[in-house]
Amino acid sequence: MSGWIAVAGLGPGAQALITPEVSEALAAATDVIGYIPYVARVAQRPGLTLHPSDNRVELDRAAHALTLAAQGARVVIVSSGDPGVFAMASALFEALEAGPPEWRALDLRVFPGITAMLAAAARAGAPLGHDFCAINLSDNLKPWPLIERRLRLAAQADFAMAFYNPRSKSRAEGFARTLDILREECGPDRLILFARAVTTPEEQLAITTLGQATPDMADMRTMVIIGSSQTRLIDRPGRPILYTPRHAA
């Protein structure tokens, strides 16, 4: 049996949001590789070896997957959300590019998943209904001044913005700085959504303004979405609807 390798997105958390194509790949796999909490979402079964690893070893993990597939294994690399959004698909191709030429002949596929910003946006209404951008706020893989430049330019272009990895314990000041920059560029009344652990039993949503937002409203399980100048609320019983109209002002 010849090997293959699939990079698959497990979606934001709920089982119902895993695509059938990803479920089929997992059912056919001999090996599942990924970050510990993502591999924990895959059920054990006979004939399947799980390879959980720490978050900081993406390239080693990708090389491991390619080596196994080259030996005939059917390997699924799992990511949360979508594997192409701040996740393993690019790490796999980086390892492929740097690796032995025979890896390029492998059967390689990327199976998309529902990324966190889309799940969070859907819960709140439609804040990404007009032009938007997505920014990873972690400065692990890029310098902070580049993040700051992108924040300012995107705010000046009046994009709605979706922020991944907003705040970790080791870089708590980055998100405080982000809120300061956004307040300078957008003013205190701009709407902002904090969507934590969306589609899991721990889900929490908060909609507020930049003037009211505090850094501790975000952690590493939170998706932050800031509206454009046109984003607004529809009041109704329970939580209001947050949406951005499809036309520009």
Write down the least CB distance from residue 86 to ligand SAH, Å: 4
Rounded Cα gap, residues 188 and 208, in angstroms: 10
Alpha-helix runs per DSSP H in the chain: 20-28, 36-39, 58-70, 88-98, 116-124, 144-156, 172-186
> In angstroms, what CA-CA distances link 188 with 70, 191, 241?
55, 9, 20
Q: Which is nearer to ligand SAH, 49 or 200 (CB)?
A: 200
Q: Which is nearer to ligand SAH, 64 or 167 (CB)?
A: 167
Task: Tell me phi and psi for residue 33, to 5 degrees.
Answer: -120, 140
Task: Tell me phi and psi for residue 94, to 5 degrees.
Answer: -65, -45
Q: Which residue is nearest to ligand SAH (CB)?
A: 81
Q: Which is nearer to ligand SAH, 3 or 113 (CB)?
A: 113
Helix orientation angle between 172-186 and 144-156, rounded to the nearest 10 degrees: 30
Comparing CA positions, the residue from 105, 83, 93, 110 lying closest to residue 3 is 105
Write down the least CB distance from residue 9 to ligand SAH, Å: 6
Rounded Cα gap, residues 104 and 93, in angstroms: 10
Write down the least CB distance from residue 105 to ligand SAH, Å: 27
Q: Which is nearer to ligand SAH, 69 or 88 (CB)?
A: 88
Q: Which is nearer to ligand SAH, 141 or 249 (CB)?
A: 141
Write down the least CB distance from residue 220 to ligand SAH, Å: 4
The answer to the question of residue 178 lying near ligand SAH (CB under 6 A) is no
What six digits make up the tokens of 58?
């993406």
Question: Each residue of 46-75: b (16+ CB within 10 Å) or e?
Answer: eebebebeeeeebeebbbbbbbbbbeebbb
Residues near ligand SAH (CB under 6 A), total: 25
Rounded Cα gap, residues 231 and 38, in angstroms: 33
Binding mask 149-168 for ligand SAH (x = CB under 6 A): ---------------xxx--
Binding mask 14-53 for ligand SAH (x = CB under 6 A): ----------------------------------------
Q: Scanning residues 208 to 227, which ones bind ligand SAH (CB under 6 A)?
A: 220-223
Q: Which is nearer to ligand SAH, 73 or 161 (CB)?
A: 161
Q: Which is nearer to ligand SAH, 79 or 231 (CB)?
A: 79
Q: Scanning residues 81 to 120, which ones bind ligand SAH (CB under 6 A)?
A: 81-82, 85-87, 115-116, 120
Chain residues that interact with ligand SAH, rule: CB under 6 A? 12-13, 79-82, 85-87, 115-116, 120, 164-166, 195-200, 220-223
